């Protein structure tokens, strides 16, 4: 079932992990995808060759002008933008007393400012077509907080408040804005962690497993498709029951 047939999506940070999982699911459901990457040019080219109707753009998520340029280029290449997934994000973990101002600012810039930048840039074409779905990738940490991640938690909590406000502003124009909050998702990054630590995390989750990029992608598929046409301003936690 091609739930996204005829739709064009922008996915930021889609060369690996959750972003790539979303890209794969969207393509499998008929979408054309414009994806961004920071520096992985070779990986981006490989993805373009692997999937039909997919094009990569090197773009700085935290740069306001770059976001506008990205949207202009995607409109030129694809003709429309129906879905935006603000997925690009970084961590620079440390206890607050040891956290530098630079590490605070960088995480806020990439994780939170980037969502403002791209959402702002895409508003005009979405308002013109009177439809659109904006999906912001938060985290369970944005709901619960986490020691050693004050900057990351603040950025992800900020996305929730931002998304609810956008949903209220744009609902009358049939533009929806929702949040996906992943829990412990097993990716290339978590594969490098100590197996005992990972097992402890798995055992603390009610479903007794870590999530997969596909789990997150399926939530985004629902929110990007017409199945969720009456859903906006919501936070969907995809965390195996970590937070109830």
Element (H, E) at 45: helix 41-50
Residue 155, annotated ligand binder?
yes
Residue 13, annotated ligand binder?
yes
Retrieve residue 59's tokens. 């773009």
Catalytic annotation present for 152? yes
Residue 72, annotated ligand binder?
no
Catalytic-labelled residue, pool 37, 57, 152, 230: 152
Retrieve residue 242's tokens. 């970590």
Q: Which is nearest to 7 in space by CA: 40, 53, 43, 50?
A: 53
241 Ramachandran zone, left/alpha/beta (phi>0; psi -120 to 50): left
Residue 144 sits at the vertex; the CA angle it makes with 139 and 150, to the nearest 5 degrees, is 80
Q: Are 30 and 4 in contact (CB under 8 A)?
A: yes
Residue 185, annotated ligand binder?
yes
DSSP states of 71-125: HHHHHHHHS---EEEE-------B-GGG--HHHHHHHHIIIIIHHHHHHHHHHHH
3-state SS assignment for residue 144: helix
Pairwise CA distance, residues 132 & 130, whole Å: 7
Residue 16, annotated ligand binder?
yes
Annotated binding site: 13-16, 87, 152-156, 185
State the catalytic residues.
152
Annotated binding site for NADP(+): 13-16, 87, 152-156, 185
């Amino acid at each position: 079932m091609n739930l996204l047939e005829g739709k064009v999506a922008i996915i930021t940070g889609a060369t690996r992990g959750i972003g790539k999982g979303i890209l794969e699911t969207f393509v499998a459901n008929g979408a054309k995808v414009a994806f961004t990457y920071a520096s992985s040019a070779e990986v981006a080219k490989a993805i373009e060759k692997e999937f039909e109707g997919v094009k990569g753009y090197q773009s700085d998520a935290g740069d306001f002008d770059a976001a506008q340029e990205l949207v202009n280029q995607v409109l030129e290449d694809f003709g429309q933008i129906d879905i935006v997934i603000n997925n690009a994000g970084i961590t620079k973990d440390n206890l607050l007393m040891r956290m530098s101002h630079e590490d605070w600012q960088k995480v806020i810039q990439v994780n939170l400012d980037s969502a403002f930048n791209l959402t702002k840039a895409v508003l005009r074409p979405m308002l013109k077509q009177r439809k659109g779905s904006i999906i912001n990738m938060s985290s369970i940490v944005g709901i619960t907080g986490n020691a050693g991640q004050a900057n990351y938690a603040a950025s992800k909590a900020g996305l929730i408040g931002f998304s609810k406000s956008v949903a209220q502003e744009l609902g009358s124009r049939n533009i929806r804005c929702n949040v996906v909050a992943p829990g412990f998702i097993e990716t290339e990054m978590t594969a490098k962690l100590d197996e005992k630590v990972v097992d402890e995390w798995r055992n603390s989750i009610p479903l007794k497993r870590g999530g997969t990029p596909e789990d997150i992608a399926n939530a985004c598929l629902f929110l990007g498709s017409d199945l969720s046409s009456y859903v906006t301003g919501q936070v969907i936690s995809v965390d195996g029951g970590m937070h109830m």
